[in-house]
Amino acid sequence: MDEIVKKAIQKWPDVPACYGWLGLDSRGDWYLRDDQVQRHGNFEESKGDKLSHRKLIEFIGRNYQQDDKGQYYFQNGPQKVFVELEVTPWVLRFDFEARVMTQTQQYVKSTQAYAYTDELGRVYLDTELGIGLVHTMDMDRMADELANQRWSLKELKVKELEKKFNFIKSPAQEKSQSRVI
Greater confidence (166 vs 1) lies with 166
CA 90-92-98 angle, to 5 degrees, is: 150
Residue ranges and CATH numbers for the domains of the chain are: 3-87+166-180 (3.10.540.10), 90-165 (no CATH)
Bridge partners (DSSP) listed for residue 76: 79
The closest of 159, 129, 7 to 66, measured between CA atoms, is 129
* pTM of the predicted model over 0.85: yes
pLDDT digits (tens, 9 = 90+) for 54-71: 999 999 999 999 999 999
